[in-house]
Structure 1
């Protein structure tokens, strides 16, 4: 997943990578779908923040 994100958005910061590595399998599947709509690293950050807000 990290490789796909880096390909789509460019190299992401280590803090975001750390958050992604802690996601469950189901969350990674959801991220894989959401990634198709991401255009910036901020889109990824917002998506991850929504997980912690729940």
Structure 2
């Protein structure tokens, strides 16, 4: 019978543990990028409509990172809409 310590030493356990850590790290990174963008956008362009927030929430981490950079040049909501339309096509 395997003990908990025996199980932790198995290759399967180690691979699964690493996979879980990577998934959690990826999720946290995406959540942090989203939170930062949702704080910055109103300061840059004013109130952001809920439907635009919904579209932003659907973006992948790499897209969120690109948006965080692009929003520095935004002057209005239309800049955000144009960026979203180009980036999600």
Same fold (TM over 0.5): yes
In structure 1, the residue matched to 2:78 is 42
Mapped partners of 2:51, 2:65: distance in 1:
20
Is residue 8 of structure 1 aligned with residue 44 of structure 2?
A: yes
Aligned residues: 53
In the TM superposition, structure 1's runs of 4+ consecutive aligned residues that sit over 6 Å from their partners are none
Q: Which ranges in structure 1 are unaligned for 5 or more consecutive residues?
A: none
Bigger relative CO (Cα 8 Å, ≥ 6 apart): 1
What is the aligned-residue RMSD (CA, Å)? Answer: 0.8
**Superposition TM-score, scaled by structure 1 size:** 0.91
